[in-house]
Amino acid sequence: MPEQVAALDGVRVLDLGRVLSGPFCGRILADLGAEVIKIEPPTGDDGRHFGPFYDGTSSYHRLLNRNKFGITLDLKSDEGRQTLTELVRRSDVLIENFRPGVIDRLGFSPARLLEINPRLVAVSISGYGRTGPLSDQPAYDLIVQAMSGLMSVTGPDGGPPARLGASIGDIVPGMYAATAVLAALHQRTRSGRGQHIDVAMFDGLLSILESVAMRALLTDEPIAPTGSHHAISAPFGTFATSDQPIAIAVANDPLFAAFASALGHPEWTDDARFRTDAERGRNRHELQKELEAALTGWTRDGAIAALSAAGVPCGPVLDVRESLRHPQVSARGMVRTEADGFPTLDNGFRMVGSREGGTAAPALGQHNDLVAGWTGEPVRTEGRRENADV
């Protein structure tokens, strides 16, 4: 059987990303088989200092930088900038998420990068993008969650705004950047030219507000946190049982009929307050009272069994450790163990051409001895492309 070829085999990526959004984009491309060269200052990426630590190394950094080569360059020096220039000439993609203006001041503006290599796909991730009144302002996940309106609809029902528990303000633009890079590489096969991609954390969070934003654009209704419940459909949230809470998602009328019957309350479908999804959404607090009164006679697992048999989407409310130990996680291989025993998360897709296993994140400057080969004559290491025409 022929050896499987990685999806992005032959694609070289220069990853100048820092901490999360840039490195996450680079890791997606690395997991797809690209040759990703992580470029850090001599002091290292700030992410190397984030815990928890495993054998003295940052688990945070390791999660985001597996399957990459690692070198150090002082881009404030002439030598460092010259080395980067030569790498740009011989690469396909460059990722950066410096503070606004830094990459330009270093002499690598988008225009300059495309002058060095017209086939380069360069992607910049910043708080607000390269245009607009906030374009020169730095941002972090917390700031864009607050500015985008996401926090205003997150938190207890009717309560104050709250930050989402994961750094989605960095993760979403990292995913958008990877998607755009893949599209730009495909476009390059027809046009012969690269381009600069401008990704804003703020834009990314605005773009995923889906029904929340549509309600704000098209109605005058108040938009506020609804806890774990959907603001439009019901029952669509978490509900108390006799022992532990259950998550239930019902978003259409036939499913509600099956749901009511499974719990022994078919009369709910004849109640004017609950007859349609729109009515149930408007009367979700009343429905919650009725539902939780009914669920006092059910354990969580008993209710899940009955509802699942009726085809109703439902599940337990697990904490993170319970989720990571779930048999579904094991079956999908979502927790992987690297060669030295380090437990980490796999990527969120399964496809022919992505890397299984892979290599651990590089130590600081681990592959500095390969730079001469990357910028000069072709050399090969572990079967990966070390130099190629662009």
Residue 133, CA distances (Å) to 38, 64, 206 in order: 31, 31, 17
Token output for 28 = 């997606």
Token output for 119 = 């086939």
What's at 378, amino acid-wise? P
Specify which residues 124 forms β-bridges with: 96, 198
- In 3-state terms, what secondary structure has residue 310? coil
In 250-374, beta strands by DSSP E: 314-316, 335-337, 343-345
- From the candidates 49, 196, 230, 326, which is the catalytic residue? 230
Q: Which of 183, 191, 177 is nearest to 119 (CA)?
A: 191
Contact 14, 20 (CB under 8 A): no
Contact 14, 374 (CB under 8 A): no
For residue 163, what are the contacts with CB-CB under 8 A and spacing of at least 6?
A: 141, 142, 145, 146, 151, 154
For residue 207, what are the contacts with CB-CB under 8 A and spacing of at least 6?
A: 172, 176
**230 assigned to active site:** yes
Specify which residues 385 forms β-bridges with: 380
What's at 49, amino acid-wise? H
Contact 164, 145 (CB under 8 A): yes
For residue 67, what are the contacts with CB-CB under 8 A and spacing of at least 6?
A: 27, 30, 31, 36, 355, 358, 359
- In 3-state terms, what secondary structure has residue 241? coil
What's at 117, amino acid-wise? N
Cα(50)–Cα(39) distance, rounded to whole angstroms? Answer: 18
Active-site residues, by number, are: 230
